[in-house]
Amino acid sequence: MSTSAAAQPKPAGAVRKWVRGIINMALFSAMPFLGAGTIRWTRGWILAAAFVVVMAGMGVLLRRRNPELMRARMAGPGTGTKPFDRIFLRLFIPLVIVQPFIAGLDAVRFHWSSMPFATVWTGVPLFLAATGLICWAMLANPHAEMTVRIQSDRGHVVISRGPYRVVRHPMYVGMILMYAAMNLILGSWWAFTVVGAIVALMVWRIAKEERTLCAELPGYSDYAQQTRWRLVPGLW
């Protein structure tokens, strides 16, 4: 093998990560239909189409505008991830997976509750706005990794631009709104119980994350004094 050939980066690992991401996206899109027990469900297809288009678009945009963050997020939990955050992930990921499944059980299979189809026309714009906020936060913050850690290996600094001028955790705001929007699209009241659990878990994570950042990230305490609100302006 020539020296030049040996120096060429091997794309196999990156390809595997992209394939895994596509498979995860397909599996998540299938969860409402698994709960419903049928693929003949208009609301389910509306959510699946919105989810796939938006997530694919975000992936392309972030790969172009913030490739370092994309690589970090695709790599998974980094070195130094806080123990409390590993607990968070073990609880959070199953809730995210089960939410659309419960919506399918509720809205189609067992009809525990119902929403008029008009909620789709509220849910879709809210879903787009929520994912837009998540994308904006990820474009503004190159340190928006999947887990809480002080990223000494990536020159971790405080980010105060973009949506971080309004609240200290805009990605969480977008995620909460996104999960609520999904329920409106699918037409399930019972799935909001899962959203409630997700919100409670996020509030716990934010409290832990804030203590970590104030104690270990230079400048974060000053930023917290300037940007007062963690999640909801005027409330918390």
Q: Which fold has domain 14-226?
A: Four Helix Bundle (Hemerythrin (Met), subunit A) (1.20.120)
| Whether the Cβ atoms of residue 142 and residue 65 lie closer than 8 Å to each other | no
| Whether the Cβ atoms of residue 103 and residue 31 lie closer than 8 Å to each other | no
> Looking up tokens 């790969």, which residue turns up?
63
- Walk along the chain (236 residues) and give the pLDDT tens digit of each residue: 333 344 444 456 656 766 777 888 888 999 999 999 999 999 999 999 999 999 999 989 998 999 999 888 887 788 899 999 999 999 999 999 999 999 999 999 999 999 999 999 999 999 999 999 999 999 999 999 999 999 999 999 999 999 999 999 999 999 999 999 999 999 999 999 999 999 999 999 999 999 999 999 999 999 999 999 999 999 89
Q: How far is CA 140 from the centre of its chain?
A: 15
Q: Which two tokens stand for residue 96?
A: 């995210």
Closest CA to 149 of 212, 93, 67: 212
Q: Which two tokens stand for residue 116?
A: 């008029």
